[in-house]
Structure 1
Amino acid sequence: MHPITHAQTRPDHPAIIMAGSGEVMTYGQMDVYANHFAQLLRERGLGRGDHFAVLMENSFHYLPIVWGSQRAGTMMVPVSTRLTAPEICYILKDAGVKLLITTRKFDDRIDAIRAECGDMEVLTVGGEGEENYEAALARQSGDPIPDQAPGQYMLYSSGTTGAPKGVRPAPPDSEDILAPNPLVGLAIMGAGMPADGSMVYLSPAPLYHAAPLGWCTTAQRLGGTVVVMEHFDPVHALETIERYRVTDSQWVPTHFVRMLKLEPEEREGHDLSSHQRALHAAAPCPVPIKRAMIEWWGPIINEYYAGSEGVGMTLIKAEDWLEHPGSVGKAIYGTIHVCDGEGNELPAGEDGLLFFENDTIPSYHNDPAKTADAMHPKGWMTLGDIGHLDEDGYLFLTDRKSHMIISGGVNIYPQEIENLLVTHDKVMDAAVIGAPCPDFGEKVVAVVQPMDMDEAGEALEAELREFLAPNLSKVKMPKLFDFRPELPREANGKLYKRELRDEYARQAEEA
């Protein structure tokens, strides 16, 4: 199962549809494009194992570039479009990137990137002269390169807890570019995705992130059509499901929250009958939000837990989730171990640091110390999450280890408080952090994005305190509510708590 075979058997079948513009690329066209790009990489001196980067919004070009790299044996480095020029340069230099593919959307950052990374070539979609990407691509042959080899991609963490980490995958198991991909088996056997090419898969998230990139390419290995949203909008997402008769999709909890906050007529005014499977991940979903989505869409919502490291995965289908609300499922790839601070395994029901045991373990690029910090003495790897297994082997996540607040010697997990806040009718989004406190070490701060910023103030704070009180002990109750029109959240659902913590730390130092 590979786009090359689909190009041979169904060249006119749509491989990509851009949801906003309606642009279509068939498998035959994508095959030619991928060959052009592999030829381009060779022309620019990139051989097997060499690194290039893509700094690009959700674009018609993104997935064909991925498949071109998959034929050239190169290491593609997707870069978050949210990053500043210095943050981008850090990744480009850390990864040893030889070529950057970008678009005019990033003109405001590209001069600074060139100045900092002077030896790196740049090609720009819509660019000029020697840097015009389309012209450079058009000069290439559409024939396969003679030395085809499977490529890989090195994803960088979103930097929510510090400098981004490059997750360097283990070498591919086979030199055959048509070799089976493990995620295909998980998609068919675990998520129930069809292998007959009938899938219409909706991707509402940015393609540079691990989940959209992994599931979009898996859908194309299965011969499906990938419908790419240029950016997420809750109403447009529902319109897109109806317009393109979407059968499968992948979301994050913030997408669910935003769709549920729509007015009833906006939620209910679309035909979603084609929609058969909806995956979600990236962050734990509050139980009331998940329950409301299942009531709305039916028992088609399946959840998984994994990471860019690709060291393990759990999965839970809607029917099982209703019997184990809050769980992210059982392991379908890798073996889970829950350990205390000394590395000892804990019994069912006790929270600890989660590790995955697997035959294939990645590493963090250029950072053996970070790799070592993530490893258990027995060779297992952690993604940094805290949680527990129940007696039946279902995993429940508590929070990120790095997000834990210690106030007066008490461990407080922000996720519990955030999950409550986002269910309030007047709250769009919430982040709970620990801020410096001279008396208790840290104090609990709730940074809240109201549905209507005009309602921010003392009255809303009092309402939220009253709302939280029945479910939170006094030590967990936020000492401060900070209302803001927007939170620093990635389009992939990741919340940049580090930015908020750093802001409060600076305030404490200046006080």
Structure 2
Amino acid sequence: MTDISELPGFYAIAAADPGRLAVIDTDGTETTFGDLLTRVNQVSHGLRARGLAVGDVVAGVLPNGIDALVMVMATGQIGLYYVPINWHLTASEIAYILDDCDAKIVVTDAEHARPGSEVGTDGLAAGRPTHAPADRTAGTVMWYTSGTTGFPKGVQRKLPGATPEELVPLYFWFFGEVVDLRPGDAVHLVTSPMYHSAPCAHAQFALHFGHTVVITPRFDPVNILELVERHHVSNAMMVPTMFHRMLQLPEDVRTKYDVSSLRQVIHTAAACPVAVKQQIMSWWGPVLYEYYGSTESTIAFSVKPHDWLARPGTVGRPAPTFEAKICDENGKDLPPGEPGMIYVKSSLGSFEYRKDPAKTAASMLGEWYAPGDIGYLDDDGFLFLCDRRTDLIVSGGVNIYPAEIEAALLEHPAVADVAVIGVPDEEWGHNVVALVQPVEGATPGPELTAGLLEHCGPRIARFKQPKVIEYRAQLPRTPTGKLSRSKVRADYLAGNTSSSL
């Protein structure tokens, strides 16, 4: 087998060792590096033939599968921005992102086809050359993330202005430092939707490392264990909800599968309960690597297994190239042990929210970016999170923003006021709960609840919809008219139902 450890990434590996196994798709279909590169090159030529130039935007509404990888790697060598879009979103939510990002081409699967879209990559690839395109230059992925307004914004970074091969050594160094990943023979398991930043990025970088990528269509705890054993999976990216579900499996199921091949299981996206993480490492061994950051900051803090075991609950120290500080509400630095707003900056450069300089400026303190979370640093510089930002709900590792749900519910004629909060849940992290103040004359009860959920259907994706709707005679607001979610949440968690209907 060809030694690929010194080759600079996917495109070079595929040219030097075309028979190397690149992808095992959701249906078990196997694709070599050589065949994947052929399709990637054809799609790159196809995109250029459609008139796309450096800096243009391509979007993908694609389920987990090889086409999602093809689009990332094809746009990644011709200087395009690629926008993966959550296919669970409603048609209007998808349309908003497509309009905002100015996508010139949209690639979907058959189920999510829309007027003018490309269904799969076949049309772009058909009849196109299989060799590498000329004037190769690295593209990048532009992720859309919601803010406190509930409307998604593109997190846009400047294009590198270099070939992919010039950037790969930086990937090798960074991921080697953070999660001990190295180029060579390994197997990466995709367990989460690839329209999210971390699963997509890890699948992309796995190819650059020469690893085989095994793709699952959705998370199923038993299937994950089966795949780990069958393909001798060495690394994967997961979220804490997955750990919780796996621990709920009967003991005889858990012990049935050989997971000794696992070397790095990387988790992020939500806080992992200490007890859950300890149980997983008792089962799998000290293989859990954690990092903390955001779409905007990328990987800002990281912690390896043994450091975490020595300091349970930490999310780590600043990742390479990053600096961090904790500030009070006035922007003044706080000493170790004192909680405050987390700020980070990196020498690798900054980002901007597409078409929203005001939002970009509001998220910064000079050169420092605030992910919006509260935490403290210990004397050794390890970060401990205290809470998520006030309004954000994290359910199953996915960010959900109350303002968007409230806006949808307020469109219903029976709703006078509404507050949406996240309520702690052992499995999901948080559940979405809507507290509704009906208009005068509306009758709260099962019929109204059913009507509100039906009303939400075409407006917001199913995973954002409330799992619980309760009714209140009045919701607390500040003297300026701002909804006091902190008071609503505190009352709800305290079981204060004196204002219930």
| TM-score tier after normalising by the smaller chain length | 0.7 to 0.9
The structural deviation recorded for 1:87 is: 0.6
Residue of structure 2 equivalent to 1:381? 369
- CA gap of 1:262–1:508, structure 2 versus 1, over 3 A, is farther
After superposition, residues 66-145 of structure 1 pair within 5 angstroms as 66-107=72-113, 110=114, 114=115, 121-125=116-120, 133-145=121-133
Matched, 1:64 2:70: yes
> 2 CA distance for matches of 1:198 and 1:175?
27
Q: Cα deviations across residues 356-383 of structure 1 (Å, max 9, x unaligned)?
A: 122311011111121111101x310111
Q: Which amino acid aligns with 1:124?
A: V
| More off after superposition, 395-404 vs 267-276 | 395-404
After superposition, residues 185-224 of structure 1 pair within 5 angstroms as 185-195=173-183, 197-224=184-211
Matched, 1:268 2:255: yes
Residue of structure 1 equivalent to 2:333? 345
Instruction: Determine helix, strand or coil for the equivalent of 1:61.
Output: helix
- CA gap of 1:495–1:201, structure 2 versus 1, over 3 A, is farther
After superposition, residues 151-300 of structure 1 pair within 5 angstroms as 151-157=139-145, 162-172=150-160, 174-181=161-168, 182-195=170-183, 197-300=184-287
Q: Is the 8 A contact 1:312 1:356 kept in 2?
A: no
Instruction: Determine helix, strand or coil for the equivalent of 2:201.
Output: helix
- CA gap of 1:398–1:495, structure 2 versus 1, over 3 A, is farther
Q: Which amino acid aligns with 2:119?
A: T
After superposition, residues 261-410 of structure 1 pair within 5 angstroms as 261-333=248-320, 334-359=322-347, 360-376=349-365, 378-403=366-391
- CA gap of 1:31–1:139, structure 2 versus 1, over 3 A, is same
Identify the match of residue 36 of structure 1 among 31, 35, 42.
42
Q: Cα deviations across residues 84-136 of structure 1 (Å, max 9, x unaligned)?
A: 111101100000111100011215xx3xxx4xxxxxx41113xxxxxxx4244
The structural deviation recorded for 1:187 is: 1.4
Structure 1: 5+ residue stretches without partners: 115-120, 126-132, 406-413, 423-427, 439-487, 489-493
| More off after superposition, 221-230 vs 139-148 | 139-148
- CA gap of 1:24–1:507, structure 2 versus 1, over 3 A, is farther
Q: Is the 8 A contact 1:53 1:78 kept in 2?
A: yes
The structural deviation recorded for 1:58 is: 0.3
The structural deviation recorded for 1:404 is: 7.5
> 1 CA distance for matches of 2:385 and 2:471?
27
> 2 CA distance for matches of 1:508 and 1:151?
51
- CA gap of 1:17–1:433, structure 2 versus 1, over 3 A, is closer
Matched, 1:429 2:417: no
Structure-1-length-normalised TM-score? 0.76
CA RMSD for the aligned pairs?
Answer: 2.7
- CA gap of 1:5–1:322, structure 2 versus 1, over 3 A, is same
Q: Is the 8 A contact 1:353 1:401 kept in 2?
A: no
Matched, 1:55 2:43: no
Q: Is the 8 A contact 1:338 1:345 kept in 2?
A: yes
Instruction: Determine helix, strand or coil for the equivalent of 1:179.
Output: helix
> 1 CA distance for matches of 2:171 and 2:273?
26
Q: Is the 8 A contact 1:340 1:352 kept in 2?
A: yes
Identity %: 33
- CA gap of 1:295–1:153, structure 2 versus 1, over 3 A, is same
Instruction: Determine helix, strand or coil for the equivalent of 1:249.
Output: strand
Instruction: Determine helix, strand or coil for the equivalent of 2:217.
Output: coil
The structural deviation recorded for 1:508 is: 5.9
The structural deviation recorded for 1:310 is: 3.7
- CA gap of 1:30–1:166, structure 2 versus 1, over 3 A, is same
Instruction: Determine helix, strand or coil for the equivalent of 1:283.
Output: coil
> 2 CA distance for matches of 1:54 and 1:369?
27
Structure-2-length-normalised TM-score? 0.78
| More off after superposition, 353-362 vs 309-318 | 309-318
Q: Is the 8 A contact 1:41 1:72 kept in 2?
A: no
Q: Is the 8 A contact 2:260 2:284 kept in 1?
A: no
Q: Which amino acid aligns with 2:379?
A: E
- CA gap of 1:190–1:381, structure 2 versus 1, over 3 A, is same
Q: Which amino acid aligns with 1:279?
A: I
Structure 2: 5+ residue stretches without partners: 1-7, 394-420, 438-455, 476-499
Instruction: Determine helix, strand or coil for the equivalent of 1:242.
Output: helix
Residue of structure 2 equivalent to 1:454? none
> 2 CA distance for matches of 1:56 and 1:27?
21
Q: Is the 8 A contact 1:354 1:384 kept in 2?
A: yes
The structural deviation recorded for 1:313 is: 1.8
- CA gap of 1:274–1:37, structure 2 versus 1, over 3 A, is same
The structural deviation recorded for 1:223 is: 0.9
Q: Is the 8 A contact 1:17 1:226 kept in 2?
A: yes
Q: Is the 8 A contact 1:54 1:102 kept in 2?
A: yes
> 1 CA distance for matches of 2:388 and 2:197?
18
Residue of structure 2 equivalent to 1:4? 11
> 2 CA distance for matches of 1:309 and 1:176?
23
> 2 CA distance for matches of 1:59 and 1:384?
33
